[in-house]
Structure 1
């Protein structure tokens, strides 16, 4: 068979396979799994895992928290409040925290997996590097996603969907709950910078009114 035809068939089959699973394109990962990450990075020195165990049916996660995607940890715990379970995997290095990034479809840290597996609703918070103010909402939980989009828009936020951040892959950490359907929120730098005095460690201790508006909008959508 002609080599070009074979290559074309492989490309088509790969594309169909990706569509069936759902496209989740994100930041490349230095490590392909938590098992590999922990062989090179030290918990307590390079990263930390924080868990607030409350209502187990709803879990709010910041899988790229701390210095990896700044602001997502603070937002996750504020959304959880005194009601919902919250998890954060945070980079705590002085620099190079991006090396701790595990993609959403390869995020397999055991504590996070256990919390998600026992939940019925899961919301993950992520950060994008763009300076846009548009929030991208994805995931397989269409009901919660729809409520969230409506609530955010009602509070004045720009909301859209993006094929690169669809969050529909079944292996995505947000979709690994009992319903196999969760919600993924992508927050660009542009909007996160307006939620804090700055995105460095000190600045993230000083949330702005926009921070609380976002938290209120999300909590109203999931209550």
Structure 2
């Protein structure tokens, strides 16, 4: 389904900041940036993954749906996402990981982006920890390999996009609501993030 808004300016004109949507970010002295451009109620759980992964050391950015319903109306596809703070944060990063969600009742992660080596390292770590995942084929609609995809606009021109299924994201939280997600993260959530961090530790120069 096509996005309701072609870009951030169109979304901004039709919605109220901190009522319909929210923006959170932090710039740290790190080469690593985690982000979720479909956070909050758009692709539930992606904000929490980005913020938890960043901790106090790495940079992060989240664009979040705050509407009571129909948050998917706030979805701007990754190749068109142009919110200025998001572009500023992500473009300064060297090693980028973007958290997303896709609809599926099976636990799985589809790994995309142009950073081929980091994709493989993350896949290996997730599989070793018991998670189901695969590297998305080049012809997939969510392969994340477009040069203008926000995950690939950093200083190295490449990043990793993690598309996490509904079932897997649901399994990360005791209570999967915007108010309670971060307070009810569980070991499955923490172990997943640990896999991503181990891959980055092996990769980042």
Q: Same fold by TM-score, threshold 0.5 exceeded?
A: yes
Residues in 2 aligned to 1:105 and 1:98: alpha-carbon distance in whole angstroms: 17
Residues in 2 aligned to 1:196 and 1:136: alpha-carbon distance in whole angstroms: 20
1:171-210 to 2 correspondence within 5 Å?
A: 171-204=148-181, 205-210=183-188
Q: TM-score, normalised by structure 2?
A: 0.92
Query: CA 1:129 to 1:198, structure 2 compared with 1: closer, same or farther past 3 Å?
Result: farther
Gaps of 5+ in 2: none
Residues in 1 aligned to 2:172 and 2:5: alpha-carbon distance in whole angstroms: 30
Residues in 2 aligned to 1:136 and 1:80: alpha-carbon distance in whole angstroms: 21
Greater helix percent: which structure? 1
Gaps of 5+ in 1: 1-26
Residues in 1 aligned to 2:9 and 2:20: alpha-carbon distance in whole angstroms: 15
Per the alignment, residue 3 of structure 1 pairs with none
Aligned residue pairs, count: 197
State whether residues 79 and 219 of structure 1, in contact with CA within 8 Å, keep that contact through their aligned partners in structure 2. yes
Secondary structure of the residue aligned to 2:146 is coil
For the pair shown, the structure with the greater C-alpha radius of gyration is 1
Q: Indicate the larger mover: 154-163 or 59-68.
A: 154-163
Q: CA RMSD in A?
A: 1.2
Residues in 2 aligned to 1:55 and 1:143: alpha-carbon distance in whole angstroms: 23
Per the alignment, residue 214 of structure 1 pairs with 192
Residue of 125, 128, 136 corresponding to 2:110: 136
C-alpha deviations, 1:78-113, integer Å up to 9, x for none? Answer: 111122101100111111211111001101111111
Per the alignment, residue 91 of structure 1 pairs with 65
